[in-house]
Every structure is written in structure tokens, then in C-alpha cells.
Structure 1
Amino acid sequence: MPGYSATWRCEPRTVGRARDLVRAALHTWGLDGLTDRAALVVSELVTNSVQHSGRRMVRVSITLPERDQVRISVSDKSSGLPALQAPDGQAESGRGLLLVDALADRWETEERNWGKVIRAELHAAPDS
């Protein structure tokens, strides 16, 4: 299946690089209608890895399993698994996975012997 991927240092500027990768892939595939949702999803997933994994590197990939479906994957070598939280109204963080859950058609975490992969799937609207 078609796809793009990159591995970067686990640092804040990687979030922007991940958004650029996703935007470029979606444009190439003619799925510009998914750009805003996909950019926000990858931003949240990479931000979680940068802030919580404690690892040096993060890998981002985007694939096209079907003509109207993309899969964004973020992997790192941390065994710490993400969990949906219900932050209090005053919290300044802790809403990333809530956004992913609201924007993605499906998402999951897969544990690996070396760490984890978090995948989010987005489907294009019929007119995209």
C-alpha cells in the first residue's frame, strides 16, 4: 500500500514536521479534505510521544490502505501506553487523546516488544 514515513528526534519541532509529512501525503493522494483532521490527529499523537515517552526518537507514517482511507501511525520505544483521560476544566493539558478519539474514525494502540504503535484511521467523505 502507498505510504510515507520518517523517523525524527523526539523533540517539539517534530510535531510540525509530522504535520508537513501528513499534509504532503494527503495532497499527493488527492485527499486534501482530510488535511485539517489528519494534521490535528498527528499533532496530538506526536506531542504525546514527545512529552511522555522519554525516548530519543519517534517514527511517523501515513499509509493509504484504501482509496478513501488513511492510516496515521506514531511509534516510539516507550512501553507506557496512552489512556483517555477526563481532565478537569482548569487543566491546560490532557485532552490530546480526547481530540484523537473525536476526530479519527478509529484508533488503537498496539504494544510491541520494543515499545508501541498508535494508529488512527480517517475516512474521506464521499465528495472528497
Structure 2
Amino acid sequence: MEAAAVGPQRYSDGYAPRATAPSRARRDVTLCLHTWGLDHLVDDAALIVSELVTNAVRHTGTRRVGVSVTRHPDRVRIVVTDTSRTVPAIAPPDTDTEAHAESGRGLRLVDRLATDWGSERLRTGKRIWAELATEEAPR
């Protein structure tokens, strides 16, 4: 007899939109993945959550940033929520301005690191999600 699955493992927390929110979210997601034995995902997940939380803090005027990590059998999903309904867009890579070159890189980074990502408008704001495959790629 095998034990029945009760559903995916999940961690979630919320952060005030302060400069410390990205580092706190990185720390919490890192601890969560270490606890689940998914150490090989820590670096990419930490960068992803940092970029998404930083965007929420800098660009949305949100009152609260939510972060959740859900472990599925084949993937980990990172979700960041905020109260802005404006969905993010990847900045074109050919912009010349120094200010634009400094911002807009985060979503390109998320796009490169994540297996898949996207965003959804909610009644109360939006959700941005990114997934990482749980199986290590062969080297």
C-alpha cells in the first residue's frame, strides 16, 4: 500500500514594500528549497524571486508583496503578488538609455532562468509566476 498524495508542499509569506523585501524573500525561498532538498534550484530561484519582488516594490506602489513557493512533482512554482493591475513586460533589449538599461533587465533574466513564467491580473492586483523544473539537467 502506498500513501496517497495530499497535495503539493507550499510556503507563503508577505512583505512590506521596503528595500529589505527582496533580500527577505530570497532568504525565505532559499530556506524553503533547502528544507525540501532542492538545493540545486536555490541560485535560480533566489534570483527570480529577488527580481520579481524588486519590481513590485519599485514599480507598483503596492501596500503588500506576497510570495509563495509551491513544490509539484516535476516543478517548483514561485508566485509574487502585488496590488497593481499593470502586468509586466520585458523591455526591448535594444534601448540606448542608461536608465532603461538598468531597469527592464529583471524580466529578461527571469525569462532566461525559468522553465516558464507569466502573469495574470487579479481582482485585487496581479500575480507573476515563474517555474523551475525540479529535476537536475544532465551535465
**What band does the TM-score fall into relative to the shorter chain?**
over 0.9
Mapping for residues 38-77 of structure 1, pairs under 5 Å: 38-66=45-73, 68-77=74-83
Aligned to 1:70, what secondary structure does the other structure show? strand
Cα offset for 1:126?
A: 5.2
**TM-score with structure 1 setting the length:** 0.93
1:126 and 1:84 map into 2 onto residues whose CA distance is 26
Unaligned runs of 5+ in 1: none
1:29 aligns with 36
CA deviation profile, 1:20-50 (whole Å, cap 9, x unmatched): 1110111011000011000000000000000
**TM-score with structure 2 setting the length:** 0.86
Specify which structure has the higher proportion of strand.
1
Cα offset for 1:5?
A: 0.7
Match of 2:87 among 68, 77, 81: 81
| 1:112 partnered with 2:122 | yes
2:81 and 2:75 map into 1 onto residues whose CA distance is 20
2:5 aligns with none
Q: Is the 8 A contact 1:105 1:122 kept in 2?
A: yes
Cα offset for 1:65?
A: 1.6
Unaligned runs of 5+ in 2: 1-7
Match of 1:92 among 81, 97, 102: 102
Cα offset for 1:16?
A: 0.5
**Which AA in structure 1 matches 2:39?**
D
Give the aligned length: 126
Q: Is the 8 A contact 1:86 1:95 kept in 2?
A: no
Match of 2:25 among 6, 18, 26: 18
1:10 and 1:101 map into 2 onto residues whose CA distance is 23
**Percentage of matched positions with identical amino acids:** 50
1:6 and 1:78 map into 2 onto residues whose CA distance is 18
Cα offset for 1:57?
A: 0.7
